[in-house]
Structures are given as C-alpha cells and as structure tokens.
Structure 1
Amino acid sequence: MSDIKRAVSMYSLQDQYARKKMTLSDIFEYLNDLDAGLEFISDQMLKGTPEPSEESLAEWDRLVEQYKPDLVCNDIFINTCLYKNRTLTKKESVDLLIKEIKLAHRLGFKMVRLVSNTPANIIEPALPYAEKYDVVLTLEIHAGMSFDSPLTMEFIEVMKKLNSPYVGLTVDTGIFCRRHPRVSTNYFRDLGTNEEVISYIDHIFASGTDPKQFFAGVRSEGKQFPEELSLFLKTQNDFEYALFADGYEMSPFTILDEYMPYVKHIHGKIYEMTEEGVEYSIPFDELIKYLHKAGYNGYIATEYEGNRFTLPDMPILDKENVTAHQKMLKKYIDEL
C-alpha cells in the first residue's frame, strides 16, 4: 500500500478552459470522476489574481462547497518582468509573494508552486507570512533548470539555511526523460526540421545521456553546439529544435536522494501517452517505485505539455492524455 496520491495540474486543461470547452465547474466534476486532486493556476482561472473580487471569491467558495475537491497546490508566478523597462525590486517581489500567500490561504491551498526563476532572496522575508497562513513555498525543479541551474542552487542554499517545513521543492518529472518527446519531434518535422538534426538528438538520448549534459563540454568553451551538429543546422527550425532539446533531461532518480526531505510535490509531466497506456519518454513505473521506497507520501500532479506540439488542424488531446495518465498512475500506485 502506498500513500502517494494523484492530482491534475490546470496547465493540462488550459485549452479546454480558454476556449470555453470546460468551465471551472466542469473541471471540478471531471477531477471528481478521476478521483484526483486540484493543482490550480489562479493567474489562469481566477480573474483579478492575486486580488480577485469578492464576487469571484464567492463563486470559488460555491464551487468548492459543491464539489469538495482536494486542494493540493496553487501555481504562482512572481513576474519580475512585469514592466518593459525594469525588473521588479526585491520589495515589490516580496510584496507580491505575500499577496499570493494570502490568496492561497483564502482559496484553501496549503502549498504554492513558485516558478523556476523566482528570486531566492525573497523567500526569507516572506517566510513569516507562509508560517502565519500555513502555506508551503516550493520551487519547481524543471527540466532545463534542474539542480545545477544557478537560480535553483541559490534557492536550495536558502532552503537549507532556513530548514523550515514551509520551504521545499516541487520536482518536475521532465528531468527523468529517457527519450526525446516524439510529439516535439513530429511537430518540428512538420515545420521542415532537418532529419539529420533529429537523428543527432535521438542518438544522444540513445547513448544514455541528454543534450544538456552532452553539450556541456563545448559550451564551457563558449560554443553553443558541437561542430558536427552545427553543420546540420541549416534553418531557424533546425536551430530551435537543437536549442530546445536540452529542456529534456535524463537524470537518474537518485539525484533526488539528498533532496527527498524537501520534496513536497511532484509534477507528473507528460508529453504523449501511448496506445499501450504509458508515457513515451518518462518511465513512471520505475519512478513511482523509487518514490515509494523513498517514503514520498505527497501528490503526483499530471501536467500535460504535449498541447504545445499539436500539429496544425489537429485537435488538442488534453483530456484524453490526462485521463490515460491518471489511469496509469492509479495502476502503478495500486500495484505497490
């Protein structure tokens, strides 16, 4: 028996909501059908965030009372690039984070996910408010900005220094890719990306590493790509495919060993659920076994990112992928 629980991030259903295919009420009902908790994005689905109107809050309260969802986490963005001509000052960023903490508490969430580039120096000033309002602050460890990213390292240094139960990590499973997402490949192929570039990237993964690690040596020398790959880059699409490829990392699960005491939440990233009912790039069966053995008892929230790679004139299969992923998670968790 495992204490790992399931949720769905509203990133997954952004198209459903934006195109008015699903209302928030529909989404709550859908989550209940899946027996899954809610990872909310208030910026996306609550008008006026971080200071919504009383009318908006009253409607939220009504829906929560009606559907009684498991309120798992609210994803927040300290938008330091709010203005064209400058970044936010430290005081502005702290004040904004405090507003987000208060809103999370008001909505009923006990955790917020901080986007990966959140300044680390605003955490300590905001900590008394996190404690007062009983809201845990977690930084997202995202592929492309994983544990070796300078911003992530700064946050972890502060996190360890504070050693508070109100400061931790949300781990995005995009750091555990074993193959380059096929939907991304097909999307760029449709744009005319050179097959030699595609094969080069696939070979990197097949060799047991990822582009970020593979390119590290030449980048330390001031080059962007190995010379062999550079010869294949003939168009802007070729360049972008190679550039974005290092946003999928192949870290071993053991990279989490020293951080497990701080891991509060997991983003179950999916790019494509296959007909066999597994995620094409990420071995969730192995990951869940690792998390169970490590004593993780939080949520894994489905985060469908294949939506951005939908081919022209094709439907976005967001609900289909989310449902399949939740079914897979339930199977693997039950097997424990």
Structure 2
Amino acid sequence: MSLYSFQEEMFLGQMSVEDCVAFAASIGARGIEILPEQNMPNFPDIDDREVAWWKELMAKHGTELTCYDMFLDTKRRKDRLMTDEEQVESIRRDLVLCNRLGIRNMRVLVFVRPDILERCVPYAEDLDVHMGVEVHAPWHMEHAWILRTVEVADRLGTKHLGLLPDMGIFMKHFPPVYRDRFIRQGARPEVAQFIIDQHDQKIMAEYTIYEVAVNMKGNPAEVRMAELLRHQPYANPKRIRDYIPYFRHIQAKFYEMTEDYRDPSHAYDEVIAELVAGGWDGYLSSEYEGNRWIQDVQPVDSREQVRRQHVMFERLIAQAEGAR
C-alpha cells in the first residue's frame, strides 16, 4: 500500500503516518510504499533517529518498507534547470536514503533521462537498490522512451535498473468518478456519454477533442473532459509478461472501487492473470487517487476504497492461480 492513497486524510490531519501503516496491517497489506518528500517533514536531512523510527514503526505493525518514491525536480534551482551532475547527485542522495531505510526499490519519475540513470547505476548496484522507471500514462511499456531505459539495462547487464509499471496504463473504461465530476462542472450528459463511448472504442483522442470542441460546440467542462483522453491509454495486458524481468515493484493505481469489489475502469482481471502466469511474485501497491474527483460532494473514505481493492486482489489472484 502506498501512503499516497491517504493523501486526503493526511492533508486534513485526520490520519497520521502511523494510522496509515496500522490500517494497512489490519487488512493484510504488509508492504508500505513511502513518499519521503511528503511523509518525512525533515527531508532530505534525515538523521539516524528518524531512520530508526521508521524501522521501529515497521516492526511494531509487522510491515516492511517496499518502495521509495523519488522526485527529481529538474527546476529545483530558482533561475535554471539542474545540471546533469546535480541530477545525478540528487538521485545518489535518494539511493543512499533508500539503503539506510532498508528499502530495495526506488520509483524513478518517467521523465528522468536514461543517460542520467546510466550514470547512477554504479551507485544503485553498490547500495543494492533497484531503480524502477515509472511507466505512467500516457506512456506504456512499449513506448520508445521507456524502451530506452530497457536498452540501457540490457546493455549494462544490470539488475538494478528497470521498470516500475503504474496500472493506470491499463485503463479500459473511462472512470465513472471522472464523468460525474465533469457533469457537476457543467458537461452535458449526452456529450459526456459520447466521450465515454469514444474512449471505449479507443478512438484517437485528437479526433474526439475536435468533435467535442468544434462540431458539438463543447463548453469548457466538456472540452477538458475530452482532452483528458490524451492521458488515458489502454495498453495491451498480454504484453506485460514480456517485461516482468524488469519489474521489482508495481503501483496498483485506481480511482474507484464499487460496493461489489470491482474496479470499473482498469483491466485488473486481465493484468493479474498475466502477472500470475508470468510468475510475478512481488508487491502490488495500492495507489488510490479517486479523492480529488469526489471531494467536492462527499467525504473521502480512502480506507474503505483500499480495503475493497485488496478484496478484489484476493479474488483475482485466486482465480488466476486456479486457472494455471
């Protein structure tokens, strides 16, 4: 479970980091993914006492730190971009903290250049931390940019550089919580349905945007809804098996779980079947991001959403293992 799932409750002061960890343990989610820049107030100046606090927290609840979400802000300098040397040093700093915390997986943001990561591989190998480039929508595992990282890993023969897929790339249907928010903002139901139908048919986003903006004289909410399609691809789950050797961790993104424990948007049934068939034995880390789509009309209950996703996982894993 990623602590990002509880961004709403933590921002509002309704849950502490320990509350999140305790809840995860209560539903059997033993792996904890952290975001140091959000979850560590003193970041990046983390002393041994704080490192010990995290390790004691994990021991107390029977959990383990599974992944460290690194953020490389190349515009961190006020008047210029970071130099290549500064970027490498920033990543090295994160790798060192990973190692101190006992974490062996680091999520790398997708825009970090492969040549920068190549320069970081010796540090990752020395510290025994896997750098997984986040395959985040609208990218996918066979995107040319992502394959550059695969090429670097293959050329170096390293086991410390690879991919970290975000399950948002397997969005098969337009999320109902998206639709409802846009309708509340003024989108006409019939136009919203047209956009949903276009997404279901996998029509190129630009065609849909033109149709909505020009031919349907779309209002601002409708145009924004159509433009969102640029960032909602549906990658082929059957190709996931080819890339499993490059995975060490998976982010299980979702926006909504129904009362009958189903995700109406992402093809988890297909994805988990492929992961099981391919022998994947790592963590699926819940990453709930539906809060921002409902917070204008109802309280957010991230705990219940994460719990439902884990019930779904148990069912789908059992089904997939039974089919082997």
Give TM-score scaled by structure 2 length: 0.91
- Indicate the residue corresponding to 2:273 in structure 1: 289
What secondary structure, in the 3-state scheme, does the structure 1 residue paired with 2:33 have?
strand
Match of 2:27 among 34, 39, 54: 34
- Code of the residue aligned with 1:283 in structure 2: it is A
Q: 2:20 and 2:91 mapped to 1: Cα distance?
A: 27
- Indicate the residue corresponding to 1:3 in structure 2: none
Q: 1:67 and 1:74 mapped to 2: Cα distance?
A: 19
Match of 1:277 among 261, 277, 301: 261
Between 263-272 and 248-257, report the one with greater CA deviation. Answer: 248-257
- Is 2:175 the partner of 1:181? yes
Between 272-281 and 225-234, report the one with greater CA deviation. Answer: 225-234
The aligned runs of 1:113-192 (5 Å cut-off) are 113-147=107-141, 149=143, 151-192=145-186
8 Å contact 2:130–2:159 — kept in the other structure? Answer: yes
- Indicate the residue corresponding to 1:312 in structure 2: 296
Q: Alpha-carbon deviations, 1:2-52, whole Å to 9, x = none?
A: xxxxxx111111122222211122222112111111111111101232332
- Indicate the residue corresponding to 1:14 in structure 2: 7
1:205, CA displacement in angstroms? 2.9
Q: 1:239 and 1:320 mapped to 2: Cα distance?
A: 32
1:263, CA displacement in angstroms? 2.0
Match of 2:58 among 53, 56, 64: 64
- Indicate the residue corresponding to 1:83 in structure 2: 77
Q: Alpha-carbon deviations, 1:117-151, whole Å to 9, x = none?
A: 12222111111111111100001111212235554
- Is 2:250 the partner of 1:266? yes
What secondary structure, in the 3-state scheme, does the structure 1 residue paired with 2:275 have?
helix
- Is 2:227 the partner of 1:243? yes
What secondary structure, in the 3-state scheme, does the structure 1 residue paired with 2:248 have?
strand
Between 248-257 and 108-117, report the one with greater CA deviation. Answer: 248-257
1:84, CA displacement in angstroms? 4.4
Q: What is the aligned length?
A: 319
- Code of the residue aligned with 2:194 in structure 1: it is Y
- Indicate the residue corresponding to 2:42 in structure 1: 48
What secondary structure, in the 3-state scheme, does the structure 1 residue paired with 2:159 have?
coil
Q: 2:264 and 2:188 mapped to 1: Cα distance?
A: 22
What secondary structure, in the 3-state scheme, does the structure 2 residue paired with 1:164 have?
coil
1:228, CA displacement in angstroms? 5.9
What secondary structure, in the 3-state scheme, does the structure 2 residue paired with 1:113 have?
strand
Give unmatched runs, 5+ long, in structure 1: 1-7, 219-223
What secondary structure, in the 3-state scheme, does the structure 2 residue paired with 1:13 have?
helix
- Indicate the residue corresponding to 2:238 in structure 1: 254
1:74, CA displacement in angstroms? 0.9
1:311, CA displacement in angstroms? 4.2
Q: 1:53 and 1:190 mapped to 2: Cα distance?
A: 47
> How large is the Cα RMSD of the aligned pairs?
2.1
1:260, CA displacement in angstroms? 2.2
Q: 2:266 and 2:91 mapped to 1: Cα distance?
A: 32
% identical aligned pairs: 28
- Indicate the residue corresponding to 1:97 in structure 2: 91
1:301, CA displacement in angstroms? 0.9
What secondary structure, in the 3-state scheme, does the structure 2 residue paired with 1:140 have?
strand
What secondary structure, in the 3-state scheme, does the structure 2 residue paired with 1:289 have?
helix
1:334, CA displacement in angstroms? 3.2
- Code of the residue aligned with 2:214 in structure 1: it is S
1:286, CA displacement in angstroms? 2.4
Between 237-246 and 70-79, report the one with greater CA deviation. Answer: 237-246
